[in-house]
Structure 1
Amino acid sequence: MNPRRKKRLGIVLAIFVGVGAMVGLMIYALNQNMDLFYTPTELVNGKPDGTKPEVGQRLRIGGMVVKDSIRRDQESLKVSFDLADVGPKVTVVYEGILPDLFREGQGIVAQGVLTNANTVEAFEVLAKHDEEYMPPEIAEAMEKTHAPLQYSDQQKQGSNQ
């Protein structure tokens, strides 16, 4: 093999090793930051494939806030509440301001760290809303723009008859 081909082969191999190392490091970094989603039943009993989160693991949990389970600390913004789906309950502890849509019987998603078998210390709580929800400002704008359209449609239908 002549020296020119050896040099090209060395460069190609160096690029290949560099790209491989970069992909490996990206996969490692993404794996460290990946938060798995669990329901309360999956958190307590494990997922169907047998995986169960470990204490200290970051995760997301979603379910319905159990009625009469919200407990607020009088001296701080600390709140704890129970979350359930169809099975066992899980306690979520959160310190901060809860979303406006947060209430009993409401679906929420909490992101946090598993502190014991059925307690999650959340650092973010997101309240879900149903697909029929519309912010008041948008509802007013829709009424203003669609009311004239409905009236003009009724006029067209009346003039056609």
Structure 2
Amino acid sequence: MKPRKKRMMWVLAGVALVGLAVTLVLRALDANVMFFYSPSQVHAGEAPKGAAFRVGGLVERGSIQRSADGLQVQFQVTDEAQRVAVQYKGLLPDLFKEGKGVVVAGKLHDSGLFEATEVLAKHDENYMPPEAAKALQEAARAKKALP
């Protein structure tokens, strides 16, 4: 085989390996990336059904319902314009309270119930996840714009 053909084979093999590596990395990222949606976006149908994503906002006052064993909890996450019903099984963070900021990760069922696999509560009085704060501001602007 001529040296030129050998070089070309090595170049093609290298391109194939780089292509394979890029494909594997993109598939891994796709499986682990979770997008954030506000309750208004979920209500508008922008969030995927059956796929994992995050919803953030405030825990609606008076919406927390606990099971007898205390491990199953249902509550509403709101951006003050719309709300999403959330169901979670497990221990909640100590800072989880009504009227406080929260981000939940999980999947939305066809019934509209969001089954959470993770609940993240704010860690001090001044912090709210940037996505949740932005969603609350946008919902407040949209609410004011209505007649």
Decide whether the 8 Å contact of 1:40 with 1:88 is kept in 2. yes
Q: Which residue of 1 aligns with 2:14?
A: 15
Deviates further, 77-86 or 111-120: 111-120
Q: Which residue of 2 aligns with 1:104?
A: 98
Task: Give how far 1:32 is off.
Answer: 2.2
- Aligned AA (2:58): M
Q: Which runs of 5 or more residues in structure 1 are unaligned?
A: 47-51, 134-161
Q: How many residues align?
A: 127
- 1:55-112 CA-partner distances (Å, limit 9, x unpaired): 2110111010000000000035000000100311101100111101000000001111
Distance in 1 of aligned mates of 2:126 and 2:55: 23
Secondary structure of residue in 2 paired with 1:116: coil
Q: Which residue of 1 aligns with 2:61?
A: 67
Which of 1 and 2 has greater Rg? 1
Task: Give how far 1:25 is off.
Answer: 2.1
Task: Give how far 1:53 is off.
Answer: 2.4
Q: Which runs of 4+ in 1 moved over 6 A?
A: none
- Aligned AA (2:88): Y
- Aligned AA (1:62): G
TM-score (norm 1): 0.73
Q: Tell me how large the CA RMSD over aligned residues is.
A: 1.8
Distance in 2 of aligned mates of 1:117 and 1:37: 20
Task: Give how far 1:17 is off.
Answer: 1.3
For residues 69-88 of structure 1, the aligned pairs below 5 Å read: 69-88=63-82
